[in-house]
Copies of this chain bind each other. A is one copy, B any other.
Amino acid sequence: MSVEARNLVVAQSGGPTPVINSSLRGIIEAARDLDAVGTVYGARHGIEGVLKEELLDLSAQSAEEVALLRFTPAAGSIGTCRYKLKAEQNEDFDRVIDVLRAHQVGYFLYIGGNDSMDTANKIAALARKRGLDLAAIGVPKTIDNDVGDSQFKLIDHTPGYGSVARYWTHMVQNANEENMGSCPAGPVLVMQAMGRKIGFIPAAARLADPGREMPLLIYLAESPRSLEQLADEVNDRLRTSGRCLVVISEGFEVGDLGKVKDSFGHTAFGSSQLTVTQAVVNYLNHAGLATKGAARGNVSGTDQRHSMAYASEVDLDEAYLVGQKAVELAGGGESGFMATILRNSGLPYSVRYDKVPLAEVANSERTFPADWISPGGNDVTDAFVNYARPLIGESMINLPMVDGRQRLARFEPIYATQQLPKYVPQAER
């Protein structure tokens, strides 16, 4: 570490993924090799950890534990948060600058989705205004694959998505084995996919059956229909195949489900009073199916974003490398950018790592391409399959195990000494 080295703070925001810790590992390991970077701190529970000056010393952790981040899902190691730094929360923004200054922080890396890129951008701007020499860089993360633009020019896909797509590949393949083997008493299985209002996750069910051999219906929120119409389509499959698998988005509209909002103003689907799946199962069982027998539902919920055995090795590698890229950018004096993953044209699949302005990412909105939804509205096209297929990889990862359980990364509770008076974040007052 040179005398001019400045410290680095990394924070995570939003829902976790099986590979978020791989980005964290990429950051820690890249920073270790860079003279310009001193200590790497992890803000405990995202931006709240900065506000509360809870900075976990990641440079002090053992190399073995850092390497184990590859096999550790979610964000348990430093934590994530949904605390939103709203534009009008000036005191919060000032506090962030104060904390970063107090700890000689020259690099701020924010792992998250669109909202986080917006926050990182605001922090970069405020630092400039306050005369703090801070490189603020965003690191993309979300299972929903909703970061960036719809033309895939700012980013091809978000780390986290490949693993949940892979989860759905296995889930549907295995569920099809059960469904195929069941007698007529239970021919309909409804499975609920995450992704809020954007269809990339339910669409991934198609990767289980690119040849369209299964009686599989896929309902995205983008392709709404009445429960009556949905039941008609299920009944068609029952007539032709004697059974049916339904994958449906948690954001599919089926009427009032008693939804609640999280602190970002987003719907918290996991906490609603009735799931989409339950509404569909109840309608099917009580409005009547063409074949006798019952529909049933699986709502695997958060399991799809932390089921580590199904993580994609492509996704794990990319998450790591995009974290490394972020450190390279920050160390090179860049600020106000998101490290990104762009797909090279042609086959075989390959990507390059680059940078895009945070402001552009924050102001863009990705939608699921309309022409990737089949004309019938209950399937996705081969163009989607071609896009998503490389992201799930080829082989299973081999989880390290100890005494029958996963060996997960465990950090020592070594924190930066607090320099400032206690502070209560504005939204918690």
- Give the segment of A130-138, A292-300, A319-327 that binds chain B: A292-300
Contact of A294 (CB < 8 Å), options: B182, B271, B285: B271
Q: List 20 contacting pairs A-B, 8 Å CB cutoff, sorted by A.
A: A16-B177, A46-B183, A73-B174, A74-B180, A75-B178, A75-B181, A76-B178, A81-B182, A82-B183, A82-B185, A82-B186, A169-B405, A170-B406, A173-B408, A178-B302, A178-B305, A186-B268, A260-B285, A271-B294, A394-B403
Q: How many copies does the complex hold?
A: 2
| A403 contact set on B, CB distance < 8 A | 394
Residues 159-181 of A contacting B (Cβ, < 8 Å):
166, 169-171, 173-178, 180-181
| A399 contact set on B, CB distance < 8 A | 396
For the complex, what is the distance from the CA of A170 to the CA of B404, rounded to whole Å?
Answer: 9
For the complex, what is the distance from the CA of A367 to the CA of B281, rounded to whole Å?
Answer: 31
For the complex, what is the distance from the CA of A405 to the CA of B403, rounded to whole Å?
Answer: 29
Q: Are A178 and B73 in contact (CB under 8 A)?
A: yes
Q: Are B178 and A77 in contact (CB under 8 A)?
A: no
Q: Are B77 and A181 in contact (CB under 8 A)?
A: yes
Q: A145 in the interface, Cβ–Cβ < 8 Å?
A: no
- How many interface residues does A have (CB within 8 Å)? 80
Q: A45 in the interface, Cβ–Cβ < 8 Å?
A: yes
Do A271 and B295 contact each other (CB < 8 Å), given the known contacts A181-B75, A392-B404, A395-B401?
yes
| A74 contact set on B, CB distance < 8 A | 174, 177-178, 180-181
**A172, closest chain B residue (CB):** B405
**A404, closest chain B residue (CB):** B392
Q: Are B302 and A189 in contact (CB under 8 A)?
A: yes
Q: Are A299 and B296 in contact (CB under 8 A)?
A: no
Q: Are A278 and B274 in contact (CB under 8 A)?
A: yes
| A48 contact set on B, CB distance < 8 A | 183
Q: A263 in the interface, Cβ–Cβ < 8 Å?
A: yes
| A177 contact set on B, CB distance < 8 A | 16, 72-76, 306, 408
For the complex, what is the distance from the CA of A258 to the CA of B16, rounded to whole Å?
Answer: 34
Q: Are B271 and A183 in contact (CB under 8 A)?
A: no
**A45, closest chain B residue (CB):** B183
Residue-by-residue, is A59-101 near B (CB-CB < 8 Å gives 1, otherwise 0)? 0000000000000111111111111000000000000000000
Contact of A207 (CB < 8 Å), options: B174, B273, B404: B404
| A171 contact set on B, CB distance < 8 A | 303, 307
Q: A290 in the interface, Cβ–Cβ < 8 Å?
A: no
Q: Are A303 and B301 in contact (CB under 8 A)?
A: no
Q: A389 in the interface, Cβ–Cβ < 8 Å?
A: yes
Besides A75-B178, A297-B299, 18 other CB < 8 A contacts?
Answer: A16-B178, A16-B181, A75-B182, A76-B178, A81-B182, A82-B183, A82-B185, A174-B307, A177-B408, A189-B302, A271-B285, A271-B296, A273-B282, A275-B278, A298-B299, A298-B300, A299-B301, A395-B401
